[in-house]
Each structure stands twice: as C-alpha cells, then as structure tokens.
Amino acid sequence: MGLLLTVFLPLSLAVIMFSLGLGLTVDDFRRVLIRPFAFGVGALNQVVLLPVVAFALAIAFRLPPELAVGFMILAFCPGGVTTNILTKFARGEVALSVSLTAIISLLSTFTVPLLVAWSVTYFMGETAPAIDVTRLALSMFLITAVPVLIGVAVRRFATGFADRAEPVFSKVAGALFVIIIIGALAANWSVFVDNLARLAPALISLNVALLLIGTLSARALGLPGKEVKTVAIETGIQNGTLGITVGSLIVESASGLPPFSLPSAVYGITMYLVTLPVIYWFRTRDTASS
C-alpha cells in the first residue's frame, strides 16, 4: 500500500492530468475571455459555493474530524477529465467544460494547500498534523499543473502526435482512475465498510446539492441549455483521484489509505450512483426537445 500511495498514485494522477493537457489548445484558454460570463458562473460555483456547501454538510452530518477534513479536501478539488467526458455524453458545451477544468485545475495548486491547512486546523484543533503548505503546493504543482502544461505544449508543437495519442491517453486515464479507486478500497476494505454508513449520506447529499446548485444558478443567470448542463456537471463532480492524492500527501508515511483520503475514495463510487442518472436525463431531455 505504501508503494501505491508514494509512487503509483502520484504517477497515475500525473498521467491523468497530462491526458487533460493533451486535449487542450491555446484557444481553450482564450475562450475564457470570449465567454467570460459562463466561465465566471462555473468558476464561482466551484471555488466559492462548493466549499461553503461542503462545510455546511460536514457540520450537519457531524463527521469525525479527520473525515471532515477529507470531505473538505474533496470539495476543494476541481473537476477532472471525467467532467469533460460526461459533458460530451450529456451534449453540453464541451469547450466550456475543458476551459473550466483546465483553469481551475491550475488555480487549485495555489488554493488547495491553503484551504487544506485551514480545514485541518479548524476541524482537528490541537490534534492537527503540521501542514507544510509550501511542500504541498509544490507537490500539487508537479503532479497536476506541470503535466497539464506539458500536454498543452505537445498539442501546440506536435499536433499530429497529440491527435494520435489523445484517445489512447484518455482511455489510460479512465483505467487508472478505476484502478486507483478499486485498489484504495480493496486495501482498506474494513475501514471502508466501517465508515460507509457515515460517509455515503454526506457524499450523496453533496453531489445532489451541487448538481442542483449548478443547474439552478446557470438557469437563473440566463445561460443557454448546453452551458447549463456544463456548469451543473462542473459544479457537481470533483476530481476524486486528486482528493485521494492530497489526502495521502498530508500523512507522509501512511501504511494504508489515510482517513483524509477516504471520503474521496468512497466518492469514486457514490458519485456515479448520483450523476449517471442525471447525465442520462440531460441527454434524453435534449433528444426529446430536438
């Protein structure tokens, strides 16, 4: 398990983020300036509303301190490659999804370490482990931002290779996500079972609340249908792999999956139970109206 946390997990996350970058172009970043309002709604939901809702739910469900910190870590994480895939399936605005995922992922290397340090202090008090914010930020930068930027550079300067490699890396990224979730839960099955009844209601409530908030906020602000779907998905789905990784970075020599990572691991299962019916509804509703 130590090898999984210290080597395989960070390396897998780097591959997943490289896959994201490989599908990006400079125009994806420029699009933020072309359609700033839609991007702003999605970004505000992710960076501000999402942590506020998660904090309220962590208090409401009276999660134990370490699990509450892990719950908040998940809320601080941006959407991953999964949101882009689900947006495409739901017939949303894929370009907007990619832009949100890319920009918020890069921004998270600065915001997540600070917010994690605050959460640990708030929920754990005197028992809180020391958080080296600089080390955590550097680690996140190396395993998330750098692979994304390398992927963007490959797309920019070796377009032919990127076109051939992107489908392969997308499949690899999806497989790695499944392997990480299964491996993490299998190695900590007893801990998973002991905490499932406590974590699942909070995680499902978080997922449902955020999907609703994303949908209603986008509609209230007059965004078109495709952008409503995209904002809902980007608001309601977080990068569980990043959450597991950040949780494991807080405890350097964990012999198993640390409690800080457990909510993200459980979320890897409960998320699909909630989101897949919603995604299917988005898709069929679009078909019915066309």
Query: Quick one: pLDDT at residue 103?
Result: 87
Residue 188's pLDDT is 65
Arithmetic mean of pLDDT, 90-97: 86
Residue 186 lies in a domain: yes
For residue range 165-182, list pLDDT tens digits in order.
888 887 887 787 777 777
Top mean-pLDDT range of 26-40, 82-96, 239-253: 82-96
Which domain range does residue 38 map to? 2-281
* Poorest-pLDDT segment among 81-95, 105-119, 251-265: 251-265
Per-residue pLDDT, 206: 95
Does the residue 287 lie in any domain? no
Evaluate whether residue 15 is within a structural domain: yes
In this predicted model, what pLDDT tens digit does every residue of 182-199 receive, in sequence order?
776 676 677 677 778 889
Question: Does 183 fall in a domain?
Answer: yes
37-80 per-position pLDDT tens digit: 999 999 999 999 999 999 999 999 999 999 999 999 999 998 87
In a domain, 289, yes or no: no
pLDDT of residue 6 exceeding 80, the answer is: no
Does 135 score more than 90 pLDDT? Answer: no
pTM across the whole model: 0.84
Q: Return the CATH number at 221.
A: 1.20.1530.20
Query: In this predicted structure, what is the pLDDT of residue 263?
Result: 92
Does any domain span residue 216? yes
Residue 286 lies in a domain: no
The pLDDT, as a whole number, for residue 247 is 87
Q: How many domains does the chain have?
A: 1
Share of the chain above pLDDT 90, in %: 33
DSSP 37-66: HHHHHHHHIIIIIHHHHHHHHHHHTT--HH
288 has pLDDT over 50: no
- Among 40-44, 91-95, 137-141, 145-149, name the most confident range: 40-44
